[in-house]
């Protein structure tokens, strides 16, 4: 009887205490829209319209449009790559912040620049590979009269822009003082913990 009474009090405390899902100390970044973000927005809204059209024709009209599935698949693919350009422009790709918090400020700059050089090499190599695929592919999409090479050329452009933005970011990091760069990375790491 006593065990049940304590169990009931504990359950009442669980249900009466509100969940605190909002961190009042979190600082939200201002949304900064740039012209390079327009293609991502266009692709996103085209994807929304096509997926809604696919849903509507399949479930309400009982006659699905064949091309909507393939179009939505490739638009989602392009949205990922075009959106990655925006993330590369802002320097927001994920990184292992664990190491930056335990390394001296003088070594952080070296580690950041080496990491950025690896990103440049990776994006550049992926741009090269996507251009090679675009050159060699001769097929069209199954349900739409669009060549598949167009998709790979867009991916090439995205990787080229990511490479370019990474070069610009690396230059900014090279000329930035070590202490200032370390403070920026620590602030970014702490803001991502929430």
- pLDDT, tens only, 72-96: 999 999 999 999 998 888 877 776 6
Residue with tokens 């990922």: 80
What pLDDT sits at residue 103? Answer: 75
Tell me: pLDDT of 182 over 50. yes
57-71, 73-87, 111-125, 156-170: the lowest-pLDDT one: 57-71
The CA-based dihedral angle spanning residues 120, 173, 164, 131, taken in that order and rounded to the nearest 10 degrees: 10
- Rounded CA-CA distance 117/119 in Å is 5
- Rounded CA-CA distance 183/108 in Å is 10
The domain ranges of the chain are: 35-191
pTM of the model: 0.74
Q: Please report, rounded to a whole number, the percentage of residues in the chain having pLDDT higher than 90.
A: 38
Question: Average pLDDT for residues 100-107, to the nearest whole number?
Answer: 73
The answer to whether 185 and 121 are in contact (CB under 8 A) is: no
């Amino acid at each position: 009887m006593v065990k049940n009474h304590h169990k009931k009090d504990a359950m009442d405390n669980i249900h009466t205490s509100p969940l605190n899902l909002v961190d009042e100390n979190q600082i939200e970044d201002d949304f900064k829209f740039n012209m390079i973000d327009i293609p991502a927005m266009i692709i996103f809204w085209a994807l929304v319209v096509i997926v809604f059209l696919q849903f509507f024709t399949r479930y309400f009209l009982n006659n699905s449009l064949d091309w909507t599935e393939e179009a939505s698949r490739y638009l989602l693919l392009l949205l990922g790559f075009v959106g990655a350009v925006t993330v590369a422009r802002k320097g927001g790709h994920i990184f292992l912040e664990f190491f930056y918090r335990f390394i001296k400020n003088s070594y952080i700059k070296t580690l950041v620049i080496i990491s950025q050089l690896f990103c440049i090499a990776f994006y550049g190599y992926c741009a090269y590979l996507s251009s090679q695929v675009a050159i060699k592919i001769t097929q069209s999409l199954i349900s739409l009269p669009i060549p598949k090479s167009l998709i790979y050329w867009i991916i090439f452009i995205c990787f080229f822009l990511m490479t370019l933005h990474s070069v610009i970011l690396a230059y900014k990091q090279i000329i930035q003082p070590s202490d200032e760069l370390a403070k920026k990375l620590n602030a970014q790491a702490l803001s991502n913990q929430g």
